[in-house]
């Protein structure tokens, strides 16, 4: 993502773990949960670090570092994506794992939270190298993952094919086909229809509900979306279909803007043509920073974390922000937006469609019975609306921000489960 050189600004460098802990402690002041439970939730159960040796295509052996952070499993097996990105660290995985715990609780799914990945630049890997790296990673994580233990899924730099390799490697080692060890697989080997589009679909559903709540009908609403990958492109195309005016989208190279509205089907998504957005010439070019500051009804940051910070939050002109990426807003960015009265609908609700359809996939794998795409989308819609209403009730009752209210819903469920099960021994 192109951005200003902001390395001196602490808030921009805030790690996912710092953001997640700050959000937890802030939300804890609004819920009646034992302090010990909050203390426990500030820490992961474990963070596994592994070395992943890879034989490169030229014969050299290179060793990469991989992680799996398991935050909490009081409500069910650990759940969350695997990320291949040069910035992957133990702290980042831990913060992202915490967000998965809240995300699953907000959606009332019987899962806890985890996240993992490998510090590697996927652009440097051939397809064969990526396959070997993934298979070896599956071997290194074999003891800590499993359908009843911890269920990975795609995230940045990984996709359905990566999950297929991971599942195959695990199944071979395990001696039996085990589709439920990961979700986000291709449908032909136990993946769910609608899983790939699900995070974008939930972002679109939440944007639609937010538009209604704030009395700005989606029909004709102007929307800018940062990122045109799985989340951004699917959200853009659905919102476009539902009558919204998508005026700007971007990828890592920059964005395009047309106040009259873009043809979202004509712009290639990252999957269709990587980094192809700015090659679509029928619009004005904007930088990623400029896109965030456009005067639109709804802004959807759906690329990477830490893009709305103390540096730019004062300049944001959108009326509503819906977080498509995980952690796009830093703590200080959030405070500025709150003071300015700009509502931020948080990631752990907005993009939770991904893990919700992962849950549907896991059920299908266990039952060896496929659901139709219509059923998946219908159940996702219902799940999103239920979560939206649960949070809306807290916003209205306690006058909290949407993020705090979302945490309240999650923390109540987790706290109750922890207090009921008790601490062992």
Q: Report in angstroms how near the CB of residue 283 gets to ligand GLU at its nearest.
A: 30
How many amino acids of this chain bind ligand GLU (CB under 6 A)?
A: 13
One symbol per residue from 379 to 398: x for binding ligand GLU (CB under 6 A), - otherwise; what is it? --------------------
Pick 146 or 276: Cβ nearer ligand GLU? 146
**Is the Cβ–Cβ distance between 231 and 301 less than 8 Å?**
no
Q: Report in angstroms how near the CB of residue 162 gets to ligand GLU at its nearest.
A: 12
Closest CA to 68 of 19, 13, 139, 12: 139
Pick 56 or 373: Cβ nearer ligand GLU? 373
β-pairing, 245-251 with 222-226? parallel
Q: Is the dihedral of CA 228, 229, 232, 237 positive or negative?
A: positive
CB-based contacts of 30, cutoff 8 Å, min separation 6: 398, 400, 404, 407, 408
Interactions with ligand GLU, residue window 102-121 (CB under 6 A): 103
One symbol per residue from 129 to 168: x for binding ligand GLU (CB under 6 A), - otherwise; what is it? ------------------------x-x-------------
**Is the Cβ–Cβ distance between 129 and 160 less than 8 Å?**
no
Q: Which of 71, 79, 135, 136 binds ligand GLU (CB under 6 A)?
A: 79
Residues 21/26/27/32 CA torsion (nearest 10 deg) = 110
Interactions with ligand GLU, residue window 169-188 (CB under 6 A): 183-184
Q: Report in angstroms how near the CB of residue 81 gets to ligand GLU at its nearest.
A: 3
- Which range of residues in 79-87, 369-377, 387-395, 405-413 is near ligand GLU by CB under 6 A? 79-87
Pick 366 or 423: Cβ nearer ligand GLU? 366
Q: Report in angstroms how near the CB of residue 154 gets to ligand GLU at its nearest.
A: 6
**Is the Cβ–Cβ distance between 123 and 156 less than 8 Å?**
no
Peptide bond into 383 cis (omega under 30): no
Could you count the other beta carbons within 10 Å of the beta carbon of residue 194?
A: 23
Pick 191 or 255: Cβ nearer ligand GLU? 191
Q: Report in angstroms how near the CB of residue 104 gets to ligand GLU at its nearest.
A: 8
**Is the Cβ–Cβ distance between 306 and 4 less than 8 Å?**
no
Q: What is the full DSSP assignment across 149-207? A: TEEEEE-TT--HHHHHHHHHHHHHHHTS--GGG-SS--GGGTPPTTTTTHHHHHHHHHH
Pick 154 or 415: Cβ nearer ligand GLU? 154
Task: Please list the helix, strand and coil fractions of the chain in percent, rounded to the nearest 5, in that order.
Answer: 45, 15, 40
Q: Which residue number is nearest to ligand GLU in terms of Cβ?
A: 81
Closest CA to 182 of 44, 48, 52, 355: 355
Q: Does 247 bind ligand GLU (CB under 6 A)?
A: no
Report the chain's terminal Cα–Cα distance, integer Å. Answer: 47
Q: Does 326 bind ligand GLU (CB under 6 A)?
A: yes
Which residues are identified as catalytic?
115
Pick 226 or 332: Cβ nearer ligand GLU? 226
One symbol per residue from 337 to 366: x for binding ligand GLU (CB under 6 A), - otherwise; what is it? --------------x--xx--x--------
Pick 184 or 194: Cβ nearer ligand GLU? 184
Q: Report in angstroms how near the CB of residue 325 gets to ligand GLU at its nearest.
A: 9
In 214-340, which ranges are continuous DSSP H helix?
Answer: 230-241, 288-292, 331-339
- Where along the sequence are the contacts to ligand GLU (CB under 6 A)? 79-81, 103, 153, 155, 183-184, 326, 351, 354-355, 358
């Amino acid at each position: 993502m192109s951005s200003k050189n902001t390395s001196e600004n602490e808030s921009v460098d805030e790690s996912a773990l710092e953001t997640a802990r700050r959000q937890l402690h802030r939300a804890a002041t609004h819920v009646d949960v034992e302090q010990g439970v909050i203390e426990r939730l500030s820490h992961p159960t474990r963070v596994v670090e592994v070395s992943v040796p890879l034989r490169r295509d030229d014969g050299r052996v290179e060793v990469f570092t991989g992680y799996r952070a398991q935050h909490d499993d009081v409500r069910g097996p650990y759940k969350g994506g695997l990320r291949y990105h040069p910035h992957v660290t133990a702290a980042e995985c831990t913060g992202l794992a915490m967000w998965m715990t809240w995300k699953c609780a907000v959606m009332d799914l019987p899962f806890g939270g985890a996240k993992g990945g490998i510090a590697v630049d996927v652009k440097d890997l051939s397809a064969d190298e990526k396959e070997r790296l993934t298979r070896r990673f599956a071997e290194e994580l074999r003891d800590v993952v499993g359908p009843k233990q911890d269920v990975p899924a795609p995230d940045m730099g990984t996709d359905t094919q990566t999950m297929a390799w991971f599942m195959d490697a695990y199944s071979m080692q395990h001696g039996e086909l085990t589709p439920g060890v990961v979700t986000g697989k291709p449908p032909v080997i136990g993946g769910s229809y609608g899983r790939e589009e699900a995070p974008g679909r939930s972002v679109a559903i939440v944007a639609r509900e937010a538009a209604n709540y704030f009395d700005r009908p989606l029909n004709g609403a102007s929307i800018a979306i940062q990122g045109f990958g799985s989340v951004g492109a699917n959200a853009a195309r659905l919102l476009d279909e539902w009558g919204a005016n998508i005026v700007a989208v971007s990828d890592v190279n920059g964005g395009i803007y047309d106040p009259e509205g873009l043809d979202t089907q004509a712009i290639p998504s990252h999957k269709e043509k990587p980094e192809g957005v700015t090659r679509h010439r029928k619009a004005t070019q904007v930088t990623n920073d400029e896109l965030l500051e456009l005067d639109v009804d709804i802004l959807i940051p759906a690329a990477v974390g830490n893009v709305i910070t103390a540096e730019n939050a004062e300049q944001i002109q959108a009326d509503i922000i819906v977080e498509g990426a995980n952690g796009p807003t830093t703590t200080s960015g959030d405070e500025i937006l709150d003071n300015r009265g700009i509502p931020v609908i948080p990631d752990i609700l907005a993009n939770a469609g991904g893990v919700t359809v992962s849950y549907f996939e896991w059920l299908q794998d266990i039952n060896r019975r496929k659901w139709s795409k219509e059923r998946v989308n219908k159940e996702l819609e219902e799940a999103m609306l239920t979560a939206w209403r649960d949070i809306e009730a807290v916003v209205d009752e306690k006058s909290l921000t949407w993020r705090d209210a979302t945490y309240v819903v999650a923390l109540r469920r987790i706290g109750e489960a922890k207090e009921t099960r008790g601490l062992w021994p």
